[in-house]
A and B are shown apart, each in its own frame.
Chain A
Amino acid sequence: MATVGEDLVRRMAAGDGDAFARFYDRYAPMVYPLILRIVRDRSDAADVLQDVFWETWRAAGTYDPARGTPEAWIVTRARTRAIDRVRSMRRRSETFVAPMDDAMAAAPAESGGDAADRASDRSVVTGALGRLPVPQREVLELAYYGGLTQTEIAERIKQPLGTVKTRMRLGLERLREMMKR
């Protein structure tokens, strides 16, 4: 049986604007904290959020339930667009490296930003990621929220590349297991 999300996407593909409005209401409050955490700026986050949802409206016809849930579909897309935004800002101005690096280096409890930022940080630590060993969590967070490659992470945390690869693989393995339970 199709889930609520799948049903909404199918109706969006058929041009149903009401389904799109409901899809937005259902997922935007989950996706927005993710985007905000990555781009760190409310007005940028709002832009990315709009782009991401407009893309889902346009791409609803290409959604294939066999390849994943609508939840993974929208979250993957939002994360990619948010990282793209940060990378393009980095390219435009080297000064943007600093805020992102600070954001990544700071322990969640000490990070700056406003209440929503802190809430989204805390949520990750108390959620499934918080149940991972700290070294694995650190590597996953640097990759997922910071968009850093394995080489970049190795340089930053001063660990051999192989160690980073192993932590990333094991961390994801554990997350997958937690989800199955």
Chain B
Amino acid sequence: MSHETFDDQVAAYALDVLETSERAAFEAHLAGCARCERTLRESREALAAVVLDGPPAVPPPDVKAALMRRLAEETAPPRRRSDTRRLWLRGAVVAAAAMVVGGFLTGMFVAARYEAELGRVARETSRLREDLARQEAALQARVTAYQAVVDLLRDPSTRVIALKGAGPSPTAEGRVVWHETAGGQVLITKLPPAPAGKAYEMWTIAGGTPTAAGVFQVDASGQAIHRVPPGAGPVDVFAVTLEPESGVPAPTGPIVLASAK
């Protein structure tokens, strides 16, 4: 694929009107393309210049007043001392008495509470960190897959083959981005998640003989992207079947997706 598609996409992206469906793949490309990055930056500057060239208009004065009020609130000390001084004095007398009587117990109580609180915060933090690590790994995997698709599409001998839903999932759709010697990636939508203990298995069929090309699961929205190794020979048909979770050497379950012969 030439760079022309990206030239169109970067224009729409600069105007912030790129179709949602194209956004993720384009952003994956943008992350590694200095040309698109420059086009995007210069387009935003050009659009800003158009805006800044226009005759100015005085905004309603209460906008600035409101902003300055928020600013003052944000930078003001949280509580004014003069208001609380008297309360503080009275509190000090009570506190002194309390300290004499209950100082020891209070110390124990505070220490125990802080320990509990610290433990809770530590657990919370490590849970958040694990969540983040999981999300990052998932995102990383997705970016790697998108990048692989983009790399494949750069090669002129890469083909894109449509897969049609069949049997139990007639509305499922797929595309195989396929390079005869390098293999490819299959992108699937609208395929229901496999039942417990089951998984989807990809097949490359060459000369009537199916070769297993890996098992995969779809996400909650029915989407999947899966790497397909090169076939045993020139591949005539691509198919996906529902199989036991660990995969099988030859298809046994129903075909859920297949390419036309």
Q: What residues make up the interface of A, taking CB atoms closer than 8 Å to B?
A: 15, 17, 20-21, 24-25, 28-34, 36, 42, 46, 49-50, 53-54, 57, 67-69, 71-72, 75-76, 79-80, 83, 116, 119-120, 123-124, 127-129, 140, 143-144, 147-151, 165-166, 168-169, 171-172, 175-176, 178-179
Do A50 and B67 contact each other (CB < 8 Å), given the known contacts A68-B41, A123-B55, A128-B53? yes
**Whole-angstrom distance between the alpha carbons of A62 and B41 in the complex?**
17
**Whole-angstrom distance between the alpha carbons of A143 and B31 in the complex?**
24
Q: Judging by beta carbons under 8 Å apart, are B59 and A32 in contact?
A: yes
What's the minimum C-beta distance from A54 to chain B, rounded to whole angstroms? 6
**Whole-angstrom distance between the alpha carbons of A76 and B41 in the complex?**
11
Q: What residues make up the interface of B, taking CB atoms closer than 8 Å to A?
A: 7-8, 11-12, 14-19, 39, 41-60, 62-64, 66-68, 70-71, 75
When distances are taken between beta carbons in the complex, the residues of chain A under 8 Å from B56 are 29-30, 32-33
Q: Which of A20, A29, A75, A147 contacts B57 (CB 8 A)?
A: A29
Provide the main secondary structure of the chain B interface: helix
Supplied contacts A68-B44, A68-B45, A172-B11, 15 more A-B pairs, CB within 8 Å: A24-B64, A28-B63, A72-B44, A75-B44, A75-B47, A76-B48, A79-B51, A120-B54, A120-B57, A148-B17, A149-B12, A149-B18, A168-B8, A172-B47, A176-B45
What's the minimum C-beta distance from B240 to chain A, rounded to whole angstroms? 29
When distances are taken between beta carbons in the complex, the residues of chain A under 8 Å from B42 are 176, 179
When distances are taken between beta carbons in the complex, the residues of chain A under 8 Å from B75 are 15, 17
Q: Judging by beta carbons under 8 Å apart, are A129 and B12 in contact?
A: no
Do A50 and B50 contact each other (CB < 8 Å), given the known contacts A69-B45, A176-B43? no
Q: Judging by beta carbons under 8 Å apart, are B45 and A72 in contact?
A: yes
Do A176 and B63 contact each other (CB < 8 Å), given the known contacts A34-B51, A57-B71? no
**Whole-angstrom distance between the alpha carbons of A140 and B16 in the complex?**
11
Which residue from chain B places its CB closest to the CB of A35 in the assembled complex? B59
When distances are taken between beta carbons in the complex, the residues of chain B under 8 Å from A179 are 42, 45-46, 49
Q: Judging by beta carbons under 8 Å apart, are B17 and A128 in contact?
A: no
Q: Judging by beta carbons under 8 Å apart, are B60 and A20 in contact?
A: no
Q: Judging by beta carbons under 8 Å apart, are B49 and A128 in contact?
A: yes
Q: Which of A57, A165, A172 contacts B46 (CB 8 A)?
A: A172
Q: Judging by beta carbons under 8 Å apart, are A67 and B41 in contact?
A: yes
Q: Judging by beta carbons under 8 Å apart, are B15 and A30 in contact?
A: no
28 A-B residue pairs with Cβ-Cβ distance under 8 Å, sorted by A, are A17-B68, A17-B75, A21-B64, A24-B67, A25-B64, A32-B56, A33-B54, A46-B59, A46-B60, A53-B63, A54-B67, A68-B41, A71-B48, A75-B44, A75-B48, A75-B51, A79-B51, A120-B54, A120-B55, A123-B54, A143-B12, A168-B15, A172-B11, A172-B14, A172-B46, A175-B50, A178-B46, A179-B45
When distances are taken between beta carbons in the complex, the residues of chain B under 8 Å from A151 are 19
Which residue from chain A places its CB closest to the CB of B71 in the assembled complex? A17
**Whole-angstrom distance between the alpha carbons of A71 and B45 in the complex?**
8
Q: Judging by beta carbons under 8 Å apart, are A127 and B54 in contact?
A: yes
**Whole-angstrom distance between the alpha carbons of A4 and B51 in the complex?**
18
**Whole-angstrom distance between the alpha carbons of A58 and B62 in the complex?**
20
**Whole-angstrom distance between the alpha carbons of A179 and B49 in the complex?**
8
Q: Judging by beta carbons under 8 Å apart, are A46 and B62 in contact?
A: yes
A21, A124, A175, A178 — most chain B CB neighbours (10 Å): A175
A-B pairs, 5 with minimum CB distance = A123-B54, A29-B56, A75-B48, A175-B46, A32-B59
**Whole-angstrom distance between the alpha carbons of A24 and B70 in the complex?**
14
What's the minimum C-beta distance from A139 to chain B, rounded to whole angstroms? 9
What's the minimum C-beta distance from A28 to chain B, rounded to whole angstroms? 5
Which residue from chain B places its CB closest to the CB of A151 in the assembled complex? B19
